[in-house]
């Protein structure tokens, strides 16, 4: 009996620590990109790759993949709306691509209308990161050089993905700099818990009694407004599509209640029973409903991704914080360490 128990425990440990590494393709400048396959003892599988420190797959035990993306590296190299990417040096938007820090003015790329988005033309999503396998995951490292994309300072970053037996994919971000610089890292995964179609019938709860209204270029006005009585109220779970027309589509930062590690969001697909719960120590979360998907982009297994074909829940500091003294500070200085964690927990109906 004891021998059997020891054998089962050993098999259990081997299952959750299973990490496989495969070649996923080569960039135009000849760099090899590796993909890492993380699995646990319950049959949950996550895949991440070294190009963009990108989360490419999340496959439930019933073999349904709930992440939008591509079957090969070529799809990512052709350009895409940040499917699963690590976004930064500053994720989200900076108004007019300009900011002033310690008396010096900086000009960044304006790659989203008049504004700067997700680090610029060659953000962290478009570089190959160094990779190191962990017992139950992988750690990616990258040095973002002083002046790259217009940002000051050499910034050493690492992003770690780990999968555990509680069906949690944990993402840990760390960074240090040799000059003062704004930083705001997030993951830009596009989820569809049904595995296809739109996400309008999927039910969302947000731990967010307020949000940051935006102007017509999606830059926050500086106001922090209550969600109660508006189309932005997800403090009680309901279908994403219920008020989406009133909101004009969702691409807004929500102010997460509480501090430290706490629940941020829960989403449930009522038809399949698949659920996602997100926890984080970040002050905000950008809720985006795939408003700019149009069915023209061919993804995994040649699937066409329609408008509202996915949702994103990007844990973050607030957009354009560098211009808003009332928002949480995003400036990292020498001697400080940027460190933040987001956990995605997956649930499903047991057969």
How confident is the model at residue 206, as a pLDDT? 99
Strand pairing report for 312-316 and 238-239: unpaired
Q: Give the three-state DSSP class for 277.
A: strand
* Residues 45-85 pLDDT 10s: 999 999 999 999 999 999 999 999 999 999 999 989 999 99
pLDDT beyond 80 at 299: yes
Distance of alpha carbon 324 from its chain centroid, rounded?
23
pLDDT band of 298, cuts 50, 70, 90? confident
Specify burial of residue 120 (Cβ count, 10 A radius: 0-12, 13-18, 19+): buried
Residue 143 CB coordination number (10 Å): 13
For tokens 């179609």, the residue is: 197
Q: Contacts from 94-98 at CB under 8 Å and sequence distance 24+?
A: 94/182, 94/319, 94/320, 94/322, 94/323, 95/217, 95/219, 95/320, 95/323, 97/150
For tokens 């509202």, the residue is: 308
Active-site position among 34, 57, 148, 188? 188
pLDDT band of 9, cuts 50, 70, 90? very low
Among 196, 215, 223, 217, which Cα is nearest to 295's?
Answer: 196
Give how far Cα 32 sits from Cα of 49, 131, 176, Å: 11, 11, 26
Which DSSP string corresponds to 104-165?
EEEE----BTTBEETTSTT-GGGSBPEEEEETTEEEEEEEE-TTGGG--S-EEEEEEEEE-T
Active-site position among 275, 314, 317, 344? 314
Domain of 70 in residue numbering reads as: 2-347
For tokens 């029973």, the residue is: 273
Average pLDDT over residues 173-199: 98
pLDDT band of 7, cuts 50, 70, 90? very low
pLDDT beyond 90 at 36: yes
Average pLDDT over residues 202-208: 98
pLDDT beyond 90 at 17: no
The residue length of the chain stands at 351
The structural domain count of the chain equals 1
Told to judge if 188 belongs to the known catalytic residues of this protein, a careful annotator would answer yes
How confident is the model at residue 2, as a pLDDT? 43
Q: List, in order, residues 6 or more apart from 114 with CB less than 8 Å away.
A: 95, 96, 97, 217
Share in percent of the chain as helix, strand, coil (round to 5): 10, 40, 50
User: Domain of 20: which CATH number?
Assistant: 2.70.98.10
How confident is the model at residue 202, as a pLDDT? 98
Tokens of 263: 């629940």
Percent of the chain whose pLDDT exceeds 90: 93
pLDDT band of 350, cuts 50, 70, 90? low
Q: List, in order, residues 6 or more apart from 43 with CB less than 8 Å away.
A: 60, 61
For tokens 């700019």, the residue is: 292
* Residues 89-137 pLDDT 10s: 999 999 999 999 999 999 999 999 999 999 999 999 999 999 999 999 9
Told to judge if 317 belongs to the known catalytic residues of this protein, a careful annotator would answer no
User: What average pLDDT does the structure give for the chain?
Assistant: 94
How confident is the model at residue 6, as a pLDDT? 39
């Amino acid at each position: 009996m004891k021998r059997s128990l020891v054998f089962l425990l050993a098999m259990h440990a081997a299952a959750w620590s299973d990490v496989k590494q495969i070649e996923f393709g080569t960039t135009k400048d000849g760099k090899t990109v590796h993909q890492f396959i993380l699995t646990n003892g319950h049959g949950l599988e996550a895949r991440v790759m070294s190009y963009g420190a990108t989360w490419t797959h999340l496959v439930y035990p019933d073999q349904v993949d709930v992440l939008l993306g591509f079957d090969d590296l070529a799809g990512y190299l052709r350009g895409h709306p940040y499917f699963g990417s690590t976004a930064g040096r500053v994720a989200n938007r900076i108004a007019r691509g300009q900011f002033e820090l310690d008396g010096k003015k900086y000009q960044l790329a304006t790659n989203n209308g008049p504004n700067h988005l997700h680090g610029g033309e060659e953000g962290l999503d478009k570089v190959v990161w160094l990779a190191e396998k962990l017992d139950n995951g992988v750690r990616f490292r990258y040095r973002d050089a002083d002046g790259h994309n217009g940002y000051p300072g050499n910034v050493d970053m690492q992003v770690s993905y780990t999968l555990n037996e509680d069906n949690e994919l944990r993402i840990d971000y760390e960074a240090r700099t040799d000059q003062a610089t704004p930083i705001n890292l997030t993951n830009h995964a596009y989820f569809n818990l049904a595995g296809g179609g739109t996400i309008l019938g999927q039910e969302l709860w947000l731990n967010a009694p307020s949000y940051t209204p935006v102007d017509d270029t999606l830059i926050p006005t500086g106001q922090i407004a209550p969600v109660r009585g508006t189309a932005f109220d997800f403090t009680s779970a309901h279908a994403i599509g219920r008020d989406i027309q009133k909101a004009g589509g969702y691409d807004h930062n929500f102010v997460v209640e509480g501090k430290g590690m706490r629940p941020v969001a829960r989403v449930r697909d009522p038809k399949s029973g698949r659920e996602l719960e997100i926890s984080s120590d970040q002050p905000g979360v950008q809720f985006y409903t795939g408003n700019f998907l149009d069915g023209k982009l061919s993804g995994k297994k040649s699937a066409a991704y329609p408008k509202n074909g996915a949702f994103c829940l990007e844990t973050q500091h607030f957009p354009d914080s560098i211009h808003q003294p009332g928002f949480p500070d995003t400036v990292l200085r020498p001697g400080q360490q940027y460190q933040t964690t987001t956990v995605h927990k997956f649930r499903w109906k047991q057969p």
